[in-house]
Structure 1
Amino acid sequence: MNERTDSRTDPRAGPRIDAGAGRAAATRSRHPARALFWRLFAINGLVFTAGTFVLALSPATVSSPVLLTEIPVLIVGLAVIITANALLIRKSLAPLDALTTLMRRVDLLRAGDRLTDSGNGDLAQLIGTFNEMLERLEAERSASSAYALAAQEGERQRIARELHDEIGQSLTVALLSLKRVVDRAPEELREELRSAQETVRASLDEVRQVARRLRPGVLEDLGLHSALSALSSDFAEASGIAITREVDPGLPALSGEVELVLYRIAQEGLTNVARHSHARHVELSLRQEEGRLTLRIADDGRGGVRREGAGIRGMRERALLIGARLTVDSPPGGGTDVRLVVPPHAVKES
């Protein structure tokens, strides 16, 4: 006896139906444009269906030919349908405006700028995909910046060693030779030789300063506190700008990467002050507040930084290496305030 299997009662048929529905849902989720099309189609169909029912059930009639008294009724009905359709479609497509705005302002050096899901199911996947793309791009930018900055630090150390070991030693030998020549030279030549000796000595000092800026040996040997102190002293001596330094004595132990980022950003910030600010006074501070480290370089110069140059963008790239946030506040005539906030997870407690 043959039996026919009814898919409505056969328990084996149920999973096949559910699997088919799941595949269809997955297909729709992979095609947001198709889902958006069906949403707009449904909105228009609903609006025109509702308009048809209202006209059918209302006492209003339309003659043939149309009477002048019926024209206002038709215009009002058409206006209501168009307005309702426009409002529903505008609400459905509103996330696209926010997405376009984010696309225009997004900057990979300012991480964390994301678009929140507004609850629109059809565009949620598009928003999520865009946010995932930003995360991938930021991760790739951070990795490439880390590689480039590591190569830059290596090149700086190489140049600093060459300046110290080769040029510095050569100038030292020349200085000692000049001293012996001065001691044996006739009186009428000694003044000129002493002038040449001072020139060589000044050149040697400059080479040592350049090498010290390229490779902060004091940072490796004595730590961040001493390195910032030496940096402040060198800045005040070279620029003639008064500087106030305040470093929290209770700072936790930091990794070498965090210390180097803090030092380099402080160095670049002070360099920008000396070059562009026309300031008379600058404040350098490093404090710990609620687990966060805050590095601040503030001057009383002319301010008005409108376009970020290579120096500030370089500081932003270094900040990304440790997940820190860099802000630059520079109102015209109000000086420039640079702040670097290092989050707690990047601070290694002692």
Structure 2
Amino acid sequence: MALSASKMGLWDWDLQTGAVTWSPETFAIVGLEDFDGGFDSFAKLVHPEDLPRVMEQVDRALREKNEYTDEFRITRPDGQERWLCNVGRPTLDEGGVPVRLSGTVQDVTERKQSEQVLKGYAQRLIALEEELRKEVSIELHDDIGQQLSALGFNLGYLRKNLPAGVDKNLVATLDDSRRLAKEINGAVRNLMVELHPLPLEEFGLAGAITDFAKQFSKRTGLALSLRLSPVLPRLPAQAELALFRITQEALNNVLKHAAATEVRISLDIKGALLHLSIRDDGQGFQPKGEHQQRAGTGWGLTIMRQRAALVGGSLRIETEPGAGTTICVEMGVAGR
């Protein structure tokens, strides 16, 4: 009775025989009366865009022998599209080899519809943020950047044309002013890249991450190592921007909170999935309760998750005290 009320069913997959068993509630959720007990028959119900991720989650659970949670769409025989939340856990034999995969499935369509409304609001807020970032970046370039360049030129002209025998303190002050002007100009240019990453438009995601990582490491002294796929295709502009912003936010959070000495960034494609990870060797944190937002302040982890979700991806965090933190993003790549 409780399972029916919560729109939750049970399932079991015998990995040795391939047989899949469903509870009556599971049959009701997927809209089937008969089922041949084959995994392939279930896979045919899964939305084509979600199927690669579903298969990857199952493969990972069996490979890593861990519980997993996934949300995906199915198309019922009556044509209805429903969202399901699937939780599975492998059962191991005495030798540690998975022999069964079993768990629960729940219809979460109403929740996903509510999330879709909120997603629309979040998408607009993020779009407004990007518009504002671009406008400020242009203003910095056209106004402050130009004035700083002119100031540097004027100071250089004065230094070059100082009369002989001028007070040494004046020379030192002028040289210091030139140095400050150069540093401020560099800081403004870094801020412009933070606000609106032009390398992203020209060189793509891998190029933009490389450029930003170099500047970030130079500015902060934090060691960064990159492992970026050399055959990464160009992604839709929104997807590239979202992944770049997630990387940017993750690095800033490492600097603020992690007490790390090294960060490793990897970006590659495995099958139909793009994988982005940002891993630090810092202090880590307890991912539950009051410490859950340690991975980000301000926009925080919630906005990072939202950025990934808005382009069809998912974000998860792997951390524990003393063991560093890894931000993992996965998203499907069309045509792969």
Q: Same fold (TM over 0.5)?
A: yes
Q: Provide the rounded CA distance (Å) in 2 between the counterparts of 1:348 and 1:213.
A: 28
| 2:84/2:109 contact within 8 Å kept | no
Distance verdict in 2 for CA 1:177–1:219, change over 3 Å = same
| 1:228/1:263 contact within 8 Å kept | yes
1:200 corresponds to 2:189: no
1:275-314 aligned within 5 A? 275-305=256-286, 306-308=291-293, 309=296, 310-314=299-303
Distance verdict in 2 for CA 1:198–1:257, change over 3 Å = same
Deviations 1:135-185 (A, max 9, x none): 221111111111111111110000000111100011111111111222233
Residue of structure 2 equivalent to 1:326: 315
Residue of structure 2 equivalent to 1:167: 144
SS of the residue 1:296 aligns to? strand
| 1:254/1:349 contact within 8 Å kept | no
1:140 corresponds to 2:117: yes
Residue type of the partner of 1:329? Answer: E
Residue of structure 2 equivalent to 1:227: 208
Larger strand proportion of the pair: 2
Q: Mean alpha-carbon deviation: is it higher for 174-183 or for 241-250?
A: 174-183
Residue type of the partner of 1:261? Answer: A
1:114-193 aligned within 5 A? 131-186=108-163, 187-188=166-167, 189-193=170-174
SS of the residue 1:287 aligns to? strand
* Alpha-carbon shift at residue 273 of structure 1 (Å): 1.0
Gaps of 5+ in 1: 1-91, 100-109, 117-126
Residue type of the partner of 1:314? Answer: I
Deviations 1:194-236 (A, max 9, x none): 1111111111110011001111001111221211111111121
Residue type of the partner of 1:180? Answer: Y
SS of the residue 2:175 aligns to? helix
Residue type of the partner of 1:337? Answer: T
Match of 2:242 among 223, 241, 261: 261
* Alpha-carbon shift at residue 97 of structure 1 (Å): 7.3
Distance verdict in 2 for CA 1:182–1:111, change over 3 Å = farther
RMSD: 2.3
Of all paired residues, the percent bearing the same amino acid is 29
1:37-116 aligned within 5 A? 92-93=1-2
| Length, aligned pairs only | 234
Q: Provide the rounded CA distance (Å) in 2 between the counterparts of 1:322 and 1:137.
A: 18
SS of the residue 1:156 aligns to? helix
| 1:253/1:348 contact within 8 Å kept | no
Residue type of the partner of 1:157? Answer: K
Q: Provide the rounded CA distance (Å) in 2 between the counterparts of 1:93 and 1:142.
A: 30
| TM-score, normalising length: structure 1 | 0.62
SS of the residue 2:260 aligns to? coil
Residue type of the partner of 2:309? Answer: L
Q: Provide the rounded CA distance (Å) in 2 between the counterparts of 1:267 and 1:315.
A: 10
| 2:273/2:330 contact within 8 Å kept | yes
CA radius of gyration, larger in: 1
* Alpha-carbon shift at residue 93 of structure 1 (Å): 4.2
Larger helix proportion of the pair: 1
